[in-house]
Structure 1
Amino acid sequence: MKSLLLVSAANDHEISAWTYDDMPKLMKKKAFITPLQLATVAGMTGDDVEVVIWDEHVRGPVDECALLDTCDVVGVTAFSSHLRRARKIAQLARARGRYVVLGGPGVSAAPDTCREDFDTLFIGETENTWPQFLADFDAGDPKAEYRSADLPDMAESPLPKWESIAADLPYYVSGGVQVSRGCPFNCEFCGVWQIFGRKMRTKPVDQVIEEVRALEKLGLRHVLFCSDNFVGTPKYAKELLRAVIALNEEFSWPMMFTAELDVTIARDPEMMSLLADSNFSGLLVGIETPNVESLKETRKRQNLRGDLVETVRRIQSYGVPIDGSIIVGFDHDTTEIFEQQYQFIQDACIPLPKMHMLKAIAGTELRTRMDAAGRIVKVPQLDDARGSDDYLDAQIHTNILPAGMSRVELMRGYLWLIEKVFDWGAFETRIAGYVDNVQRQPQTKVEDPAIGTAAYLRGCTDRFTPEAATTIHRMLERTERVAPFMLASVARLSFRQVFEANRVHVIRKEILEQIELEETVWPVAEPPVPAGASMEAAPT
């Protein structure tokens, strides 16, 4: 092999957490995170091979890339929501005579749906299989599928190679650094523990620090620690955080970090202090729901200990905001869940929750249960795509038949929740509660308000709606009075609220169109339940 083109397929939904279409006007950002998976594959490839990474979220469609006519192999990575675009890339590349391979969580969850369109599939992690493929390809005998017999040791994962996209890095919000794989929990809707195992595997702290330092040298100021549960191994997490604190002291200005973790940190003051002092700007935490029966249903046992509102407020009292994952549509949810979720979000003062309708993703136990009950819906809007329900964006669509309400009731209630939560008045209330709740100031450098994020935000407000501009100025002035060290955090959250509020009208349009379509296709407002299907709620 002489040349390799690695492509991160775009999400072709109008609403996507992967892209920041409105952000270039304000922050020159086009995508959330660098394509770490492709940079890691590049790191596994010998220096004698020309490797080019093409991220469609930043560079646009790969269709006109000259390498499609000359490279030896096109490698595509995709989550489930990117698979439809991945197929189109494969068809385009194969029409030009290229050998096309596919990897990523999408194919690992449902390989049988991908075999027709790709020459080789990589199932699971590739540290053990990519080198074998390279050898087989050079020998003229590449296999149709590579599946690692063992879960790789994270110490064997190479340093990512960013050289081919170094010029693109300013367009990303975050640089990605993998720290661990696996999760000790087994939530029904999640496939992480089935793909990566329940035993945490961690990357050596020294290597993580080396990767962070490399991204800082390339100009990135924010790093997402890629882990499905950053605190799954608490001793390791604390060791890494202490190293991050020391590393930040080397830089002229500290790097910022985010990570995904669970609510158990609320019982560990040392962990919360270390996260704050490491300059974490946010924590993605799987809250899911205040409905206790729904938490039991989905096996979210770690959220059942203590009051969730108090748990969230305790974590945020250390000056780090939670991006709470919120889901509606569990079997034990009724139409009352939308008001319950809204009140919970407001009472807990979660600044910017990540809200979704429940979706049964391929490869999860939820999907297995829903399939067995005949409760997976082929959504009519996407009938032209093979296995269309796998490509739905859960921010807009759901592929299940709910047990406690109709699909239309779920969509209408979810839309109501989105509009209520991202209302500027509701956001201002949550921000005030978040700031007032902080009990411990993070031990990090504080931005100069005259030149920092808040100053830049104030200079942008003439581009916002009058309501947004007035609210932002009011929030910033209040924060300067009551907790000036929180000013940069509030400014960053306000920028994101601008983005979220701007997306509401598009979400509304798509959901209402979907409701109209389903009411036309299924006049009784619900698709027919297959013979033998059960609409009983999941056991608790």
Structure 2
Amino acid sequence: MDVLLVNPRFNGASEVSPLSLECLAAPLLADELSVAIVDMDIGSEKEAQALLMEALEGGKPLIMGVTTLSGSIASALAACGTAKKIHPPIRTVLGGIHATVLHEEILRENKEVDVVVRGEGEETLPELMKGNFAMASLEKIAGISYRQGHRILCNPDRPLLKDLGDMPPPAFHILDNRCYRTRSLSSSRGCYHNCRFCSIQSLYQGIVRQEPLEKIFIGIRDLRSAGAKRIMFTDDNFTFHPRRVREICEMIIQERLAQGVELYVQGRLDDFCRQPVMAQWLSEAGFKAVYAGAESGAQEVLDRYGKGMTTGDTKRGVSYCIEQNLMPVVSFILFGPWDTVETMLKTIRLAKELFENGAEIAYTECLIPFPGTPVQAELEKDGKWKESGGVYYFESYTGIDMEWVLKVCNLARAMARLIYGDEPLFPVRRVYYEFSLLEYLLQGQVPPVYDSWLALLPTAGRDGALEADRRQIEAAMGDIL
């Protein structure tokens, strides 16, 4: 085997295929190189490790390329260490956003990594293969950092690909479709917006490039041929250009590409405010949902995030989508560096309102200040950026303890499961229930629904497991409230 590409483990629950590796594989295959992909983020940890070892022992690849996000860097480095132990001659290459931002630190602290590819890798990785990692060839390859003795050398940046159409379509056939609930496709790269918590700018510097329509057509066709039933357009912002959205939708309708498959996109709700008919185009073309970040229900927090939209935009955008039977799946960040209890309550109340009006809602408990983001830079400057064992977090500007927030969220989660867990629609309503409980818990109050539920429990002969859960919740409330 020439090249082994690895998607490192995050939580083992990935439902979407690793598009970045399929894109990397395509030009390598076009150069008639043998390529395999090991996705360690599906199945059990034992199964993932066995897949990696089998590929290393059986294939003896010349190069192993590993993509990295901040949440999976530990797994990526462990994979490189495993590769060096099993097959010492192998050359290990790290890429992705995290490696791009922290390339020097990674090389300085991790001898198991030979080269870091900064930015896009579709041109860089084939050049590494052709140069066979000879030092004379490494010096000529743009966009890489590497080790020479005790020195870390950083070659000049490689310009972004001028025309995405110059690259072959992603190698979708290289992965087993049965391993994924959803396959991914991209019609563009980059985003014009400047959300201060987003790391995309580290790669694309605010530049947006579009895939040719013909290549998008080929991508959907190939995924359908592979047996895909759900396709997610994982563009950084699919909805940024309404005319482009209309062209894609017209092509999908004309070529009947949505037959037998459900389509999904990632976009921004304020884009629908500027062009409400876009929701109709997407719905008519077979798109089932749009995934969008509202982030906060407090305008002052949105402004801190540099989101460039208002809470009113969120409400209007959601309504336009619902009117056209395009499900908005709206995500929130409950607690960030500038949040107070009051701003968190605004977020909860906005999310509940959207759900009651027909949207789906999701949330992450705390903002993660990823390296390379403006939020992280500000926090670090003010001495409030923290890192421990590869986990990034922050000290609040408002004095709220993050550990307290996480404990309250865990309590709401356990309480919702205890009170509502037997309902048939609990999976759909879970976040709504948790937010309803958090509304009281964040204010130091016992939710009335808990007292009502408790009053209905028999005083004798209670189920043992139920009683144990109740006692844990009572103890947690005593600790938190």
What is the TM-score with the length of structure 1 in the denominator? 0.69
| Equivalent in the alignment of 1:209 | 217
* Bigger RCO of structures 1 and 2 (CA < 8 A, at least 6 apart): 1
CA contact (8 A) 1:10 1:85 kept: yes
The CA deviation at 1:146 is: 6.5
Question: Does 2:338 align with 1:332?
Answer: yes
Match of 1:90, as an amino acid? Answer: C
Question: Does 2:387 align with 1:378?
Answer: yes
* Correspondences of 1:416-427 after superposition (within 5 Å): none
CA distance in structure 2 between the aligned counterparts of 1:333 and 1:423, rounded to whole angstroms = 28
Counterpart of 1:309 (choices 311, 315, 322) is 315
* Correspondences of 1:3-402 after superposition (within 5 Å): 3-11=2-10, 16=11, 19-20=12-13, 31-46=14-29, 48-58=32-42, 60-63=47-50, 65-69=53-57, 70-96=60-86, 97=88, 98-115=90-107, 116=110, 117-137=112-132, 143=138, 144=146, 148-152=157-161, 153-165=163-175, 168-247=176-255, 249=256, 253-263=259-269, 264-303=271-310, 306=312, 308-349=314-355, 350-379=359-388, 385=389, 388-390=390-392, 399-402=393-396
CA distance in structure 2 between the aligned counterparts of 1:496 and 1:157, rounded to whole angstroms = 43
After superposition, give the CA deviation of every residue in 1:275-318 in whole Å (9 maximum; x if it has no partner): 111222221111000101001111111236x3533432332222
Match of 2:406, as an amino acid? Answer: M
- Greater CA drift, 195-204 or 307-316: 307-316
CA distance in structure 1 between the aligned counterparts of 2:186 and 2:119, rounded to whole angstroms = 15
The root-mean-square deviation of aligned C-alpha atoms, in Å, is 3.1
Which secondary structure state, in structure 2, belongs to the residue aligned with residue 468 of structure 1?
coil
CA distance in structure 1 between the aligned counterparts of 2:7 and 2:194, rounded to whole angstroms = 28
CA contact (8 A) 1:126 1:148 kept: no
Which secondary structure state, in structure 2, belongs to the residue aligned with residue 353 of structure 1?
strand
Instruction: Report the structure number with the largest CA radius of gyration.
Output: 2
CA distance in structure 2 between the aligned counterparts of 1:89 and 1:120, rounded to whole angstroms = 14
Which secondary structure state, in structure 1, belongs to the residue aligned with residue 309 of structure 2?
helix
> Percent same amino acid at aligned positions?
19
Aligned CA distance change for structure 1 residues 176 and 422 (closer, same or farther; 3 Å): farther
The CA deviation at 1:8 is: 0.6
CA distance in structure 1 between the aligned counterparts of 2:202 and 2:417, rounded to whole angstroms = 34
The CA deviation at 1:83 is: 0.5
Which secondary structure state, in structure 1, belongs to the residue aligned with residue 265 of structure 2?
strand
CA distance in structure 2 between the aligned counterparts of 1:341 and 1:164, rounded to whole angstroms = 42
Match of 2:104, as an amino acid? Answer: D
Aligned CA distance change for structure 1 residues 181 and 366 (closer, same or farther; 3 Å): same
Aligned CA distance change for structure 1 residues 371 and 310 (closer, same or farther; 3 Å): same
CA distance in structure 2 between the aligned counterparts of 1:317 and 1:279, rounded to whole angstroms = 15
| Equivalent in the alignment of 1:468 | 423
CA distance in structure 1 between the aligned counterparts of 2:280 and 2:419, rounded to whole angstroms = 30
For structure 1, the 5+ residue unaligned runs are: 21-30, 380-384, 391-398, 426-464, 473-492, 502-508, 520-524, 526-540
CA contact (8 A) 1:111 1:121 kept: yes
* Correspondences of 1:448-467 after superposition (within 5 Å): 467=422
CA contact (8 A) 1:120 1:146 kept: no
CA distance in structure 1 between the aligned counterparts of 2:332 and 2:251, rounded to whole angstroms = 32
CA distance in structure 1 between the aligned counterparts of 2:430 and 2:231, rounded to whole angstroms = 17
